[in-house]
């Protein structure tokens, strides 16, 4: 049985915070549909079951009964009611009678809640600190804690974009002197090691934190399967023997600058994405080995302009993106005309079309898309083409020439009235070729344009 319950703004009630302060919370908006406050669900259910003592008509009556139940106890609030809370504001318990103004401070009479009324200090007899001590290998004390806009492990706050603008990622706060000794600059990635593990985050350097103490927020656990910022990789699992309080806020660590090992990166495909990747990657990293495998003989050209190449409006050179000497400058090893036919992600190896095996540390797939050919089309018949690569364009141009017909007598049927079909149609139209477009949808470019724009 599922009963719809009202949310916190949809019902009245009280809330008590950790300084014993009780506040009245008014209902602000109506609950949707048949949703009711939990307490009303309970009393209505009890009434329906013919239980005695549930003849309430409102939440205030329930609260009166709750207050009476506390009479004579240490948390006596028998002097409270919704009426008082609404009219006089919040109260700190105990509030033992109707004119009592609440108790801002407990035990001012030194009568404690113990059998002999005296305060008992549960100090262990043999008191000694078992917290991990710093030494030459782990000379810094790690403190963990919170940042303003995140809560615990960010299950909700981590999904709120606005909250992430405050502090979007984990960091290590460090004193300038400690950072200087480790050659760390603000924003550098550091490895923080303890006897149990390590994390890897950027450093924030200032004089706010004292020397030999570093601070790491505890909110970030595993993110996208990586635990680079998970504080508990390094914290100690020691607990206080009596309170069981964990010693998460104190452990010995060492911090050092992160040095990325040299890696071999293989990029599969030499299209637009791969081109942008190698350029931006090299802006940040001059060290890693970069290899690009291109199934096409011609890498890195402007595919978008293929229609203009087909109509001879542009020469092939106009489509080429690579400037002379650019690959050498970017320090990229290109394998033109060699596709990758197999990937073994466990062994981190790829096999190329010639049969050679290449190992990699990182693999970037930039293989683009393929032309979709409906299965009914007999694509092996002469005169059928797709338009995706230079090879397709050259084949079409060759075929046109071989017909020996002047362009006004040539007729091209384009299957698909989307962006690519129309671009090719426009380019061929310019050289007076007759065009028919076969479009399954009732209008052209139906995915990109609305009805009016599609008619233009
Ligand atoms: C005719 C045409 C006109 C277009 N017009 C426009 C336009 O006007 N505006 C627009 O925004 N977009 C346009 N596009 C789309 C645009 O070109 C693509 O979105 C863009 O090229 C995608 O870049 P990419 O790097 O992901 O893939 P691609 O540029 O397609 O590159 C992928 C490369 O990977 C290679 N490859 C695939 N598999 C392997 C393998 N196993 N081993 C090695 N290499 C492999 C392919 O041969 C190809 O060279 C057009 C596309 C075409 C075909």
The pLDDT confidence band at residue 112, using thresholds 50, 70 and 90, is very high
User: Do residues 226 and 169 both lie within one domain?
Assistant: yes
Would 130 be classed as within a structural domain? no
User: Do residues 253 and 268 both lie within one domain?
Assistant: no
Ligand 1: nearest atom to the Cα of 303: 17
User: Do residues 151 and 242 both lie within one domain?
Assistant: yes
Q: Which domain holds residue 61?
A: 8-92
8 Å CB contact between 235 and 197:
no
Q: How many CB atoms lie within 10 A of CB 239?
A: 13
- Cα distance between the two ends of the chain: 57
Domain finish residue from 365, 380, 398:
365
Find, among 288, 368, 272, the residue nearest to 332 by Cα.
288
The contacts of residue 455 (CB under 8 Å, 6+ apart) are 443
Distance (angstroms) between ligand 1 centre and the Cα of 454 equals: 25
Q: Answer whether residue 417 shows pLDDT above 80.
A: yes
Would 131 be classed as within a structural domain? no
Find, among 175, 170, 211, 172, the residue nearest to 193 by Cα.
172
* pLDDT score recorded for residue 456: 80
Determine the Cα angle at 286 with ends 172 and 301, to 5°. Answer: 120
State how far the Cα of 169 lies from the Cα of 204, in Å rounded to an integer: 12
Average of per-residue pLDDT across 349-360: 98
| SS3 assignment, position 227 | coil
User: Do residues 63 and 163 both lie within one domain?
Assistant: no
Of all protein residues, the one whose alpha carbon is nearest to atom 3 of ligand 1 is: 304
* pLDDT score recorded for residue 88: 98
Of all protein residues, the one whose alpha carbon is nearest to atom 7 of ligand 1 is: 304
* pLDDT score recorded for residue 1: 84
**φ/ψ (deg, to 5) at 401:** -60, -45
Average of per-residue pLDDT across 148-173: 94
The contacts of residue 256 (CB under 8 Å, 6+ apart) are 182, 190, 191, 193
The pLDDT confidence band at residue 21, using thresholds 50, 70 and 90, is very high
| SS3 assignment, position 304 | helix
Determine the Cα angle at 345 with ends 343 and 346, to 5°. Answer: 130
Average of per-residue pLDDT across 406-422: 94
Distance (angstroms) between ligand 1 centre and the Cα of 369 equals: 6
Average of per-residue pLDDT across 163-182: 96
8 Å CB contact between 146 and 217:
yes
Of all protein residues, the one whose alpha carbon is nearest to atom 12 of ligand 1 is: 304
User: Do residues 147 and 251 both lie within one domain?
Assistant: yes
Average of per-residue pLDDT across 254-276: 97
C-alpha dihedral sign at 420, 424, 430, 434: negative
Average of per-residue pLDDT across 110-117: 95
Average of per-residue pLDDT across 395-413: 95
Q: Answer whether residue 124 shows pLDDT above 80.
A: no
Mutational pocket test of ligand 1: of 304, 385, 414, 416, the residue with most ligand atoms within 8 Å of the beta carbon: 304
Considering all CA atoms of the chain, what is the largest pairwise distance in Å, rounded to the nearest integer? 114
Average of per-residue pLDDT across 285-290: 96
265 compared with 452, residue with greater pLDDT: 265
**DSSP character string of 66-121:** HHHHTTTSTT--TT--HHHHHHH--EESP--STT----SSS-TT---SSTTSS---
User: Do residues 220 and 309 both lie within one domain?
Assistant: no
Q: Answer whether residue 127 shows pLDDT above 80.
A: no
Q: Answer whether residue 126 shows pLDDT above 80.
A: no
Ligand 1: nearest atom to the Cα of 299: 49
User: Do residues 286 and 249 both lie within one domain?
Assistant: no
- Report the share of the chain in percent with pLDDT over 90: 90
Distance (angstroms) between ligand 1 centre and the Cα of 436 equals: 25
Domain finish residue from 257, 286, 317:
257
- Token look-up 């059928």 returns 384
Determine the Cα angle at 9 with ends 5 and 15, to 5°. Answer: 95
* pLDDT score recorded for residue 263: 97
Peptide bond into 123 cis (omega under 30): no
Domain finish residue from 197, 227, 257:
257
Would 105 be classed as within a structural domain? no
Q: How many CB atoms lie within 10 A of CB 248?
A: 18
- Report the share of the chain in percent with pLDDT over 70: 100
Q: Answer whether residue 271 shows pLDDT above 80.
A: yes
The per-residue pLDDT of the chain, averaged, comes to 95
Would 161 be classed as within a structural domain? yes
User: Do residues 175 and 216 both lie within one domain?
Assistant: yes
* pLDDT score recorded for residue 198: 98
Ligand 1: nearest atom to the Cα of 275: 25
* pLDDT score recorded for residue 173: 98
Check which CATH number belongs to the domain holding 449 and give it. 3.50.50.60
Q: Which long-range contacts (CB under 8 A, 24 or more apart) does 239-244 make?
A: 241/124, 242/122, 242/124
User: Do residues 69 and 168 both lie within one domain?
Assistant: no
Distance (angstroms) between ligand 1 centre and the Cα of 366 equals: 9
Would 3 be classed as within a structural domain? no
Would 101 be classed as within a structural domain? no
Query: Mutual orientation of helices 59-69 and 38-48 as an angle, nearest 10°?
Result: 90
Distance (angstroms) between ligand 1 centre and the Cα of 303 equals: 6
Range with lowest mean pLDDT among 264-273, 292-301, 359-368, 370-379: 370-379
User: Do residues 313 and 234 both lie within one domain?
Assistant: no
* pLDDT score recorded for residue 123: 78
Find, among 39, 49, 95, the residue nearest to 70 by Cα.
95
Mutational pocket test of ligand 1: of 337, 367, 426, the residue with most ligand atoms within 8 Å of the beta carbon: 367
Distance (angstroms) between ligand 1 centre and the Cα of 333 equals: 20
User: H or E segment at 341?
Assistant: strand 340-344
User: Do residues 449 and 409 both lie within one domain?
Assistant: yes
The answer to whether ipTM exceeds 0.90 is: yes
Ligand 1: nearest atom to the Cα of 272: 25
Ligand 1: nearest atom to the Cα of 273: 25
The pLDDT confidence band at residue 232, using thresholds 50, 70 and 90, is very high
Would 308 be classed as within a structural domain? yes
Ligand 1: nearest atom to the Cα of 371: 53
Mutational pocket test of ligand 1: of 360, 368, 387, 389, the residue with most ligand atoms within 8 Å of the beta carbon: 368
Distance (angstroms) between ligand 1 centre and the Cα of 35 equals: 54
Ligand 1: nearest atom to the Cα of 269: 34
Distance (angstroms) between ligand 1 centre and the Cα of 382 equals: 25
* pLDDT score recorded for residue 122: 80
Distance (angstroms) between ligand 1 centre and the Cα of 262 equals: 30
Distance (angstroms) between ligand 1 centre and the Cα of 313 equals: 20
Distance (angstroms) between ligand 1 centre and the Cα of 287 equals: 28
Phi-psi region of 453 (alpha: psi -120 to 50; beta: other; left: phi over 0): alpha
The tally of domains found in the chain comes to 4
**Ligand 1 — pocket residues by CB below 6 A?**
268-274, 293-296, 303-304, 306-307, 339-340, 366-368, 387-389, 420, 423
User: Do residues 157 and 246 both lie within one domain?
Assistant: yes
Structure tokens at 81: 């009611």
Average of per-residue pLDDT across 339-362: 98
* pLDDT score recorded for residue 195: 97
Would 291 be classed as within a structural domain? yes
Q: Answer whether residue 61 shows pLDDT above 80.
A: yes
């Amino acid at each position: 049985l599922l009963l719809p319950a009202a949310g916190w703004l949809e019902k009245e009630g009280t809330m008590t915070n950790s300084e014993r302060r009780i506040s009245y919370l008014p209902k602000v908006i109506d609950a949707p549909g048949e949703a009711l406050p939990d307490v009303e669900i309970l009393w209505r259910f009890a009434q329906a079951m013919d239980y005695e003592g549930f003849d309430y008509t409102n939440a205030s009556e329930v609260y009166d009964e709750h207050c009476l139940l506390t009479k004579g106890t240490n948390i006596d609030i028998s002097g409270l009611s919704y009426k008082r809370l609404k009219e006089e504001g919040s109260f700190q318990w105990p509030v033992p009678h109707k004119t009592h103004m609440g108790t801002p401070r407990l035990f001012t009479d030194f009568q404690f809640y113990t059998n002999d009324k005296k305060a008992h200090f549960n100090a262990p007899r043999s008191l000694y600190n078992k917290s991990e001590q710093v030494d030459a290998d782990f000379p810094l004390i790690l403190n963990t804690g919170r940042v303003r806009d995140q809560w615990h492990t960010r299950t909700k706050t981590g999904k709120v974009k606005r909250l992430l603008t405050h502090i979007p990622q984990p960091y290590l706060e460090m004193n300038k002197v400690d950072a200087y000794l480790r050659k760390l600059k603000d924003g550098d990635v550091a490895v923080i090691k303890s006897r149990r593990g390590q994390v890897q985050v950027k450093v924030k350097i200032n004089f706010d934190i004292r020397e030999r103490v570093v601070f790491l927020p505890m909110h970030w656990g595993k993110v996208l399967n990586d635990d680079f910022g998970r504080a508990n990789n390094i914290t100690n699992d020691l607990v206080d023997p009596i309170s069981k309080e964990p010693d998460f806020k104190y452990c010995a660590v060492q911090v050092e600058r992160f040095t990325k090992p040299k890696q071999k990166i293989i990029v599969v495909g030499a299209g637009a994405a791969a081109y942008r990747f190698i350029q931006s990657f090299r802006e940040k990293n001059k060290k890693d080995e970069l290899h690009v495998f291109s199934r096409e003989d011609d890498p890195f050209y402007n595919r978008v302009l293929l229609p203009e190449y087909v109509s001879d409006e542009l020469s092939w050179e106009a489509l080429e993106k690579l400037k002379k000497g650019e690959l050498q400058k970017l320090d990229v090893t290109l394998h033109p005309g060699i596709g990758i036919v197999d990937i073994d992600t466990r062994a981190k190896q790829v096999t190329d079309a010639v049969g050679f095996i290449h190992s990699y540390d990182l693999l970037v797939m930039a293989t683009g898309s393929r032309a979709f050919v409906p299965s009914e089309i007999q694509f092996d018949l002469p005169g059928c083409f797709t338009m995706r690569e230079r090879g397709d364009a050259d084949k079409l141009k060759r075929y046109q020439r071989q017909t020996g017909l002047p362009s006004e007598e040539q007729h091209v049927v384009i299957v698909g009235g989307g962006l690519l079909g129309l671009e090719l149609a426009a380019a061929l139209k310019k050289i007076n070729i007759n065009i028919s477009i076969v479009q399954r949808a009732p209008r052209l470019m139906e995915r990109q344009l609305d009805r009016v724009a599609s008619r233009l």
